[in-house]
Structure formats: structure tokens, C-alpha cells
Amino acid sequence: MAKIKTYFECQQCGYQTPRWMGRCPECGSWGTVVEEHPTGGGRGVGVRNPSAPPVPITEVQGPALTRIPTGFPEVDQTLGGGVVPGSVVLIGGDPGIGKSTLLLQVAARLANQGRKALYVSGEESAEQIRVRAERISAMSPLLYLAAETLLEAIIEHGERIRPDLLIVDSVQTTYVGGLESPPGSLSQVREVATRLMSFSKERGISTCLIGHVTKDGSFAGPKALEHIVDTVIYFEGERQHTYRILRVTKNRFGSTHEIGIFEMTETGLREVGNPSQLFLAERPQGVTGSVVVVAMEGTRPLLVEIQALVAPTHASLPRRVVTGVDLHRVAILLAVLEKRLGMPLSTCDVFVNVVGGVRITEPAADLGIVTAVTSSFRNIPLDPGMVCFGEVGLTGEIRAVRHAVKRLHEAWQLGFNRCFLPEANEGKHREGAEIDVIGVGTVDAMMAILFS
Ligand code: TYD
Ligand code: MG
């Protein structure tokens, strides 16, 4: 038999090389390139149909997509209406964020609707899981538990139980018997995911694969599996805060950008019905540097408070400390304020924070950031009844954003009475809005209304 040559692969990004390297030339990480042992043909075990002849696209039958509701509306909404039989969902997140808790609850809810769920854990014993399940009321005779790390055995359990939902916790502790690489290595996690994909597809079983996000790269993380699985979800949140956000980043059966919001309680995860209310609960009134923006998360408007603190700097290089929004975005907005409004921000430290640990990736938050910064810089508090949204361009112009009506409605529902928005969004929505709408064309004009 020909000897199969080993090769080296970066655990961070998957870069392959015939020789060992201290630093990955692809992603630049140190010490992540390790030796891999291919099994020869073991890779890429997809579903192989006996070759079917090509057909015109108009004659291809569309799939009859059925979905199983999990009993958790927030999870279903994130997935696009429930889990799709035969699909593999990868759930990534930091260790301790609540992935096991969430999926145990999902499994129990599904089982309580008369469907079978199999929860396989390589991290805890069945007894430990039972103790947790009792505490969070996730008990059901149709919820099966197994403590197992060998993939072949997991598939055997799956064949015997034939669950509607199979949960594998986690991809890093599961290993394929024939592979030489240790559990958690890139070739192992890939092989585990690939084999679970073909098992799920063949049997029509929905599979949830839990993957820890690993910062040091000593294990291969969910990033390395995103291209294999059908759906990728991240479970995010700050450990210090109680709420968690389920965010979908890839979905072969639905849209991305949807989110689900939960709160971690003593008795497991609880769905948050009105997230805006939660995020604004502790909002201070009459202070400078605080403004509420209406952001969109997927199809859902979300009101969050942005805080800014601008203080004279004592360092030669002014500090820019930002959480919850993009640092580069803030740097651009500060430059716009400096150049267009003449605010000498290069002599100031600037801190920007989205309250509650939410992360906003939308440019519609721009207007909130410049308003909060200006309020803190001028030391003038804002009217607590106002909200704003809008993208800011480099010339200081305020650009239109999508979903203006939804945003206005959410702001009005939460009791806000005045909304600053892009001029281009104003006209169409003035009528019918039960909130005072002020369209603004430039940052300059808006600050003049607010602070003069
Ligand atoms: P866990 O689901 O084990 O996280 P992961 O699987 O992502 O590593 O959740 C761990 C944390 O959640 C743990 O620190 C305790 C907390 N927790 C609660 O606050 N309430 C609960 O009901 C449960 C089960 C866990
Ligand atoms: Mg866990």
C-alpha cells in the first residue's frame, strides 16, 4: 500500500503546507500549524446519489420544506420557522455562554410535543445532565441522553433511537475512530461534521452540533466547519450580563441576520418578548452623552442606548475605546465631527459604549454615535423622549436607511415622542406616524437643532 504522506494545516484558517511553519502565512497566527494525518479517501463523504443526468432548471422539483417547530419561538424565528429535517445546524459560542442549556431546553420542548430527541454529550455525564435538566424543567420521557465521544457509537445510537433531533455536544470532544489526529484537531472536527451531515441527510434527522469558539486556536473552532454544515448560528452575550443573542450567519434554508434574544435565569434560558424594553430599563435621564438609537437586527427593530464620554486627554495619543460598535466606524465619525463641525476631538479621549453588551453592526447607528459624542463634548444633555437613526457619510451628510416605518413604530410603542431621521426617509413616513418626525440632511443641521 502506498504510504499516505502527512501534511501540515493551520488550525485557525485551514491553510495547508507540506512542511511545518511557526507562523501561518495565510492568517498570521503563531503556533497554529500542526501535522495532520489524512486517512485517504475519508474526507468529503457526502451523499452520493448514483449520477443523475442533468435536467433543465425549470424541470427541477422544488423541495417540499417541512419544518419542525422547536417550541421556542425565538429559536424558530432565528432558523426561519423551525428545524428542517435532515439539516445540520452548527451552534457556536464561547465556553459557558449557555449552548448546552439552550439545546437541552430545545430538546425537552421538542420531546414534550411528542417527538424524540437524543442528546449526546462528550462533556458531561448523563447524571450531570439530568440534574441540570431537573433544575430547568427540561424533563421528558422522549428525551434520550447518552454520554459518548466516539462518533461511530453516536451514529449507532442515532440508528437505534431514530430521533427527530440529534444534539452532539460538542464537536471538539467527538472523534472518529480511524483518524490519528486528536479530538478537536481540524481533521477530526471536519470529519465529524461531514459524517454527521451524511447521516442526517440519509435518515432525515435534524442534527445540532455544538462548537466552542476557541480563541487560542489550540482546537479547531466552528469557523472551520461553516462551509460544511447547512446552518450556522452563534450564541453571543457578555458573561457579566444575563441576556444572550442567537444570531444566524449562514442558512441554506432561510435568511441570515435573524436573531433571537434570551435571558439566562436561575432556571435556564427564558425568551425575551420585548428586548428594547430590557435594553433601556436602566437608562439614566438628563445626563450628557446618552442617546437612544433604533437599530434593525434582522427583521426586528431594536432600541438601544449609546453612551459616549469625551474628556480632555493627558496622553500624547488620544484614546479611543469602543464597545458594541466598530472602532473604525467611530474613528471615521470622529473625523467627520472634527472636520465638518470643528470639534477639536484630537485633544480628547473618546469612549463609546452600547449599553447592555449588544453589538450593532448597522450604519444606522452612526447618527446616534455622533449625537452622543457631541452631547458629551458640549456637556448638554438630550431630551430623553428623542430617538434617532441614520447613516452618516464622509461629507457629514445623513443618508437614508431601510425600514424607517418599522423603526418609527417601535420607537413610538416604547413611548418616545420625537425621532430624528435622514431627510430622504422623512417624506414618505410623515403621514400616519404618531411620533414627531424630524428629517435632517446633514450632521451640522441636526446638531444646530439639538444644541443651539
Ligand atoms: P452552559 O450551557 O453549560 O454553557 P456552554 O454549553 O455554552 O459551555 O451554561 C453555563 C453557564 O450558564 C454556567 O456558568 C451557569 C449558567 N446557568 C445559569 O445561569 N442558569 C441555568 O439554569 C443554567 C443551566 C446555567
Ligand atoms: Mg456545554
Residues 99 and 184 in one domain: yes
Identify whether the C-beta of residue 325 lies closer than 8 Å to the C-beta of residue 373. Answer: no
Say how many domains are in the chain. 3
Residue whose C-alpha cell is 413604530:
409
Q: How confident is the model at residue 40 (pLDDT cuts 50, 70, 90)?
A: very low
How many whole angstroms separate alpha carbon 74 and alpha carbon 208? Answer: 16
How far, in Å, from the CA of 103 to the mean position of ligand 2? 9
**Amino acid letter for position 182:** P
State which of 255, 273, 291 marks the end of a domain. Answer: 273
Q: Give the tens place of pLDDT for each residue, 60-99.
A: 877 677 899 998 998 998 898 899 999 999 999 999 999 9
Task: List the residue whose alpha carbon is closest to atom 21 of ligand 1.
Answer: 268
Considering the domain boundaries, does residue 376 fall inside one? yes
137 lines ligand 1 (CB under 6 A): no
Looking at residue 11, its pLDDT comes to 79
Taking residues 191-209, report their average pLDDT. 96
In a domain, 185, yes or no: yes
Over 70: is that where the pLDDT of 449 sits?
yes
237/278 Cα distance (integer angstroms): 14
> 357 alpha carbon to ligand 1 midpoint, in Å?
18
The residue whose CA is least distant from atom 14 of ligand 1 is 96
**Is pLDDT at 159 greater than 70 in this prediction?**
yes
Whether the CB of 387 sits within 6 Å of ligand 1: no
269 CB near ligand 1 (under 6 Å): no
- CATH number assigned to the domain comprising residue 106: 3.40.50.300
Q: Whose CA is nearest to atom 23 of ligand 1?
A: 268
Residue percentage of the chain with pLDDT more than 90: 63
Which atom of ligand 1 is nearest the CA belonging to 210? 6
Query: Cell 459518548 appears where?
Result: 148
- Statement: residue 36 has pLDDT above 60: yes
Higher pLDDT, 315 or 118: 118
User: Which residue stretches of 164-238 are H helix?
Assistant: 186-203
Confidence of residue 420 (pLDDT cuts 50, 70, 90): very high
Which atom of ligand 1 is nearest to 94's Cα? Answer: 7
**Co-location of 309 and 264 in the same domain:** no
The closest residue, in CA terms, to atom 12 on ligand 1 is 98
Judgement on whether residues 250 and 286 belong to the same structural domain of the protein: no
Does 284 lie in the same domain as 200?
no
Is residue 95 one of the residues assigned to a domain? yes
The string of pLDDT tens digits covering residues 47-56 is 455 677 888 8
pLDDT of residue 281: 82
pLDDT band at 44 (very low <50, low <70, confident <90, very high): very low
Q: What rounded mean pLDDT belongs to the chain?
A: 89
Q: Are residues 124 and 242 in the same domain?
A: yes
Q: Is the CB of 122 under 6 A from ligand 1?
A: no
- Residue 41 and residue 308: Cα distance in Å, rounded? 56
- 142 within domain boundaries: yes
Same domain for 191 and 167, yes or no, is: yes
Which of 242, 273, 304 is the last residue before a domain boundary?
273
DSSP state of 153: H
Could you give the CA distance from residue 170 to residue 208 in angstroms, rounded to a whole number? Answer: 10
Residue of the nearest CA to atom 15 in ligand 1? 96
pLDDT one-digit tens code per residue, 219-241: 677 788 999 999 999 998 877 77
> For 213-224, what is each residue's pLDDT tens digit?
877 665 677 788
Ligand 1 and 99: CB distance under 6 A: yes
The Å distance, Cα 304 to ligand 2 centre, comes to: 29
Q: What pLDDT is stored for residue 440 in this prediction?
A: 96
Mean pLDDT of 197-209: 95
Q: Is the CB of 128 under 6 A from ligand 1?
A: no
Write down the H helix ranges in 209-293.
Answer: 275-280
**Residue 364, SS3?**
helix
Report the 10 Å Cβ neighbour count for 63.
8
Q: How far is the CA of 116 from the centre of ligand 2 (A)?
A: 21
Do residues 242 and 285 share a domain? no
Binning pLDDT at 50, 70 and 90, where does residue 358 land?
confident
> Can you give the CATH number for the domain in which 311 is found?
3.30.230.10
Domain identity same for 265 and 234: yes
**Residues 313, 391 within the same domain:** yes
Whether 6 maps to a domain, the answer reads: yes
Q: Is the CB of residue 292 less than 8 Å from the CB of residue 365?
A: no
Give the Cα-Cα-Cα angle 107, 110, 114 (nearest 5 degrees): 130
pLDDT at 255: 82
pLDDT digits (tens, 9 = 90+) for 102-115: 999 999 999 999 99
428: pLDDT confidence band, cut at 50, 70 and 90?
A: low
Domain carrying residue 15: 1-38
**Cis-peptide, bond into residue 170, ω within 30° of zero:** yes
* Residue 387 included in any domain: yes
Among candidate residues 273, 303, 321, the one where a domain is terminated:
273
Ligand nearest, relative to CA of residue 269: 1
Q: What are the cell numbers at 355?
A: 449599553
Q: How far is CA 383 from the centre of its chain?
A: 32
Q: What is the band of 434 on the pLDDT scale with cuts at 50, 70, 90?
A: confident
The string of DSSP codes covering 410-448 is: HHHHTT--EEEEEHHHHHHHSTT--SEEEEESBHHHHHH
Q: What b/e readout covers 200-231, taking b as 16+ CB neighbours within 10 angstroms? A: bbebebbbbbbbbbbeebebbbbbbbbebbbb
Q: Looking at residues 321-327, what average pLDDT do you find?
A: 95
Helix H or strand E encompassing 121: strand 117-121
Ligand 1 pocket: which of 97, 101, 136 to mutate (most atoms <8 Å of CB)?
101
- Res 430 pLDDT > 80: no
Domain identity same for 236 and 304: no
Mean predicted confidence (pLDDT) in 277-281: 81
Q: How many CB atoms are closer than 10 A to CB 437? A: 19
Is the pLDDT confidence value at 193 over 70? yes
- pLDDT tier for residue 46 given thresholds of 50, 70 and 90: very low
- Number of the ligand closest to the Cα of 124: 2
Q: Which band of pLDDT confidence, cut at 50, 70 and 90, is reported for residue 26?
A: confident
User: Measured in angstroms, how far is the CA atom of residue 292 from the centroid of ligand 1?
Assistant: 31
Ligand 1 center to 298 CA (angstroms): 26
Claim to verify: residue 189 and residue 234 sit in the same structural domain:
yes
Shared domain for 187 and 318, answered yes or no, is no
Per the domain annotation, does 73 fall within a domain? yes
**Ligand 1 neighbourhood includes 403 CB (under 6 angstroms):** no
Answer whether residue 294 is part of any domain.
yes
What is the model's pLDDT at position 45? 45
* Sheet with strand 33-36: strands edge to edge: 16-17, 7-10, 33-36
